[in-house]
Chain A
């Protein structure tokens, strides 16, 4: 089974637009800039793209039919998922599976979003998903005033603090680390704005207790395009291929709550946490590596507790230990496990997480200059809810 997927598809081109806030361009325009940059990066022609895979559709971003029509594509494979960070890995996985199976030769993963233009969808009048009966997709409960995704992460970290003695000060290590990384990344929105101190973090206003302003991601605009093709074809192209070595899906069920570790007593979860299990670790088996071989970890850091929970999900530390584990620079460049080295959603920009996919490919191509992870061979995308990809160069 592993042989079907391992290293059989690769990222061969990466492109992005400017990242920022209140950018005047339409999502279609931002996407076209990223698409042109990805094609130029890869040496492929527009006509080589015969598949699209995406998850950040209307109203935040673009739907597949708009992309194909506006950019003059003629594609034969489409995968469009739900407009959530939980489908980043899936979008790439389906692109890889499409080229491996022969359903497509080259798939473009397109994300072009304008959070600032469409900000009503975050807990405001445009957020119909939050109104779902029985609770929104991040634990929203609108009749009680929980209309925004942040509430789910706040509830979970509040419980986590109570169970394990973690604090808001502990949590600050996450945004402090990612802001530090962003100071080495001229493309980051917070580049040049300086590092954060614990005092900066603690003095910011509370948004949704215990999350302060710097615990919540940037609300930003921009586009990223990632081109995926077969490993065989990749070898003849301009860039060194970034191989997709392993993949696994997200977990769901009564023991899971999207913004919490498994079985931590949130929603209908039981109260009985245990460490990472075989299903959490399947991605390493598929890639033929051990967790210890991972040189950097990238995750969907919409809220600063999520990077803690991902560390526990994949067993980098035991349940309840992550808040202490991330102290003293451990997740910073030069530390034991650098995370989100471009600054992530918290400090680079919230391009639906695709800014971090761009960074993974850049790191594995050795193009990150001052923030290069020395000797990076295996990098992992993984989220608190369990989906993952392992990439290698």
Chain B
């Protein structure tokens, strides 16, 4: 593994539409056409009713910080210059959670329950990462 480069998501057939959506700056949720529930991470079947009949729904992009941390230790060289940096789990309005970084916020001010919305970071020609900023 090249630790001088930040890792990119590993894109699979099940998650490709999600990442394609990010590239268009749209946050997509896997949606079950049988039971109407949404889920993340995107899977090949609905984890609630096991149906194969899945589609995609655009998320509002708003949510709340449900858990967060600030990393102070260098484990992976590519993140050295970012130290200390935050990461959080975001509970989207629709229910599923995503892990991402928070931007535009002082690390000292992050709290559980903080209202955030998605913003997109085109980190390479092929990959766009969703991150979140305070509302």
Asked if A128 is an interface residue, CB under 8 A from chain B, the answer is yes
Q: How far is the CA of A145 from the CA of B79 in the complex (A)?
A: 7
Closest chain-A Cβ to B17's Cβ sits at a distance in Å of 14
Check B1 against A128 for contact (C-beta < 8 Å): yes
Which of the listed residues A132, A144, A266 has the most CB atoms from chain B within 10 Å of its own CB? Answer: A144
Task: Name the interface residues of A128-147: CB closer than 8 Å to any CB of B.
Answer: 128, 131-135, 139, 141-147
Check B6 against A143 for contact (C-beta < 8 Å): yes
Asked if A123 is an interface residue, CB under 8 A from chain B, the answer is yes
Check A141 against B87 for contact (C-beta < 8 Å): yes
What is the size, in residues, of chain B's interface with A at 8 Å between Cβ atoms? 43
* Supplied contacts A131-B7, A145-B6, 19 more A-B pairs, CB within 8 Å: A122-B75, A123-B75, A123-B76, A128-B1, A131-B1, A134-B15, A134-B41, A141-B100, A144-B101, A147-B76, A158-B67, A159-B67, A162-B112, A208-B70, A208-B71, A209-B69, A254-B47, A265-B67, A266-B67
Check B66 against A159 for contact (C-beta < 8 Å): yes
Count A-B contacts at CB 8 Å: 116
Asked if B24 is an interface residue, CB under 8 A from chain A, the answer is no
Q: How far is the CA of A142 from the CA of B123 in the complex (A)?
A: 14
Asked if B104 is an interface residue, CB under 8 A from chain A, the answer is no
What is the size, in residues, of chain A's interface with B at 8 Å between Cβ atoms? 40
Sorted nearest first, the 10 A-B pairs with minimum C-beta distance are A123-B75, A162-B112, A142-B7, A134-B41, A159-B67, A141-B99, A209-B70, A155-B67, A133-B10, A154-B69
Closest chain-A Cβ to B22's Cβ sits at a distance in Å of 11
Task: Name the interface residues of A280-313: CB closer than 8 Å to any CB of B.
Answer: none
Asked if A68 is an interface residue, CB under 8 A from chain B, the answer is no
Asked if B8 is an interface residue, CB under 8 A from chain A, the answer is yes
Asked if A174 is an interface residue, CB under 8 A from chain B, the answer is no
Asked if B85 is an interface residue, CB under 8 A from chain A, the answer is yes
Chain B residues near A70 (CB-CB < 8 A) = none
Given A155-B68, A155-B89; A143-B8 close (CB under 8 Å)? yes
B72 (CB) vs chain A CBs: closest residue: A206
